[in-house]
Amino acid sequence: MLTLISLILAGMAALLSVPIAVLFVEVIAALNAVVMKQFEESSEASNSRVAVIVPAHNESTGVVPTIEDIKLQLGIDDRLIVVADNCSDDTAAVARASQADVIERNDLTQIGKGYALGWGINHLEVDPPDFVVFIDADCRIEPDMIGRLKHVCSKLQRPVQACFLMKTADDSPIDHSLAEFAWILKNWVRPLGLRYLNCSVQLMGTGMIFPWEIIRSAPLASGNLVEDLKLGLDLAAAGKAPYFFPFVIGSSVFPTSEKGTDSQRKRWVQGHLHTIMTTLPRLLFLSISRRNLDLLVMTLDLAVPPLSLLGLLIVAMFALSCVGWLVGLSSAVVVISAANLLFFALSILLAWSKFARHVLSAGALLSIGALVGTKIRLYVEVLLGRAATQWIRTDRGKPK
């Protein structure tokens, strides 16, 4: 009986080693990455047209700066489309006053950002552009982002993803430094490592560009909570996996209210975990059977759960293996669990030391264990189905 239990625990520990190994390899690759100048310049003239789609759900208080960022980067034949999706405020009027083309969608039976994106693509069918860019309504973008993304996309003829980071608002009453570090790890360090290894990356939901012929037939219209993650995997399965272009950055700020922070985290976590549980086996089989290396890499990357959950699982597995060893179970489980804990800690430390010292002090880094503990309630609620099930605008507190 003890032998059987030991085998089960060893299998669980070994299974947990997979996402840890993926994380460690990505971090090590990022440490060695040389950010090449490949495709960086966008100086050559181009007659290609770009359409920028901005999905907006009750974003009247924050959409104007995003519109202004975009307008400065558009050519005379380019278009800016704001999709006012199921809005109960004056988002449409505010966007029109900022000289954006606005289309409205009102369908409470189909709620989700994916539906808004699909509505925008359908609108473009009459006069299609050469490329389509998606930018969230609360996202600020660097100068020349659209032109440089277009240049790379025209060279590669595949989706291109800029870097997207979440930042703490200057006047925020909430300390988001640990969350900001987690975003740097997820959307900068790990994609940079994959780029160094000449691999594809996940889509990040904003700051992404597509050739028209690819995006026009992509499965967009859905209520998936992580429609960007699903879209990237679908495109990889079709042989058009996204390419990471780290030279331009889009950013948004964390909510300044506890309610907004809580709902945002629940939505992200639930969407990610649901995608893992419902698609991971199928994607592994598909990537291996089709010998699709891009899809295989992205599936393994998908297998890495949110940072705090991964840390919680590692610590729990290590504690369980130690208890088991004390009552007579195999010490092999302790060895595997200890190795998992070591490589996870090394991944965090190495990523922080090179990429995140400016957002997180050494003292704050040591409190990551406390953060993991506070997330237990969140994961229980997600597993019980108490988190978000559809696209709901994040409460960002009172506008200034």
Cβ within 8 Å of residue 296, ≥6 positions away: 284, 287, 288
Strand order in the sheet with 131-134: 101-105, 79-85, 50-56, 131-134, 208-211, 160-167, 243-253, 140-141
What CATH number does the domain containing 347 carry?
A: 3.90.550.10
Q: What tens-digit pLDDT sequence spans the chain (400 residues)?
A: 667 888 888 899 999 999 999 999 999 999 987 655 455 554 444 689 999 999 999 999 889 999 999 999 999 999 999 999 999 999 999 999 999 999 999 998 888 888 999 999 999 999 999 999 999 999 999 999 999 999 999 999 999 999 999 988 777 767 788 888 989 999 999 999 999 999 999 999 999 999 999 999 888 877 666 788 889 999 999 999 999 999 999 999 888 766 666 666 777 777 788 888 888 999 999 999 999 999 999 999 999 998 888 988 999 999 999 998 888 888 889 999 999 999 999 999 999 999 998 888 877 777 666 666 666 666 666 665 555 555 555 555 554 4
Retrieve residue 228's tokens.
């960007």
What pLDDT sits at residue 255?
Answer: 80
- What are the structure tokens assigned to 321, written together? 């293996």
What's the CA gap between 72 and 174, in Å, rounded?
Answer: 32
pTM of the model: 0.89
How many structural domains are present in the chain? 1
Structure tokens at 211: 């050739």
Instruction: Give 356's Cβ-side CA count (13 Å radius).
Output: 30
8 Å CB contact between 218 and 243: no
Q: Which two tokens stand for residue 122?
A: 């359908």
Question: What does the block give as tokens for 396?
Answer: 């960002």
Range of the domain at 230: 1-400
Q: What is the CA radius of gyration of the chain?
A: 22
287 CB-near residues (< 8 Å, 6+ apart) = 237, 293, 295, 296, 299
The whole-number pLDDT of residue 400 equals: 44
Cβ pair 266, 379 in contact under 8 A:
no
pLDDT of residue 176: 81
Using CA atoms, how far apart are residues 134 and 208, in angstroms rounded to an integer? 6
Specify the pLDDT at position 4: 83
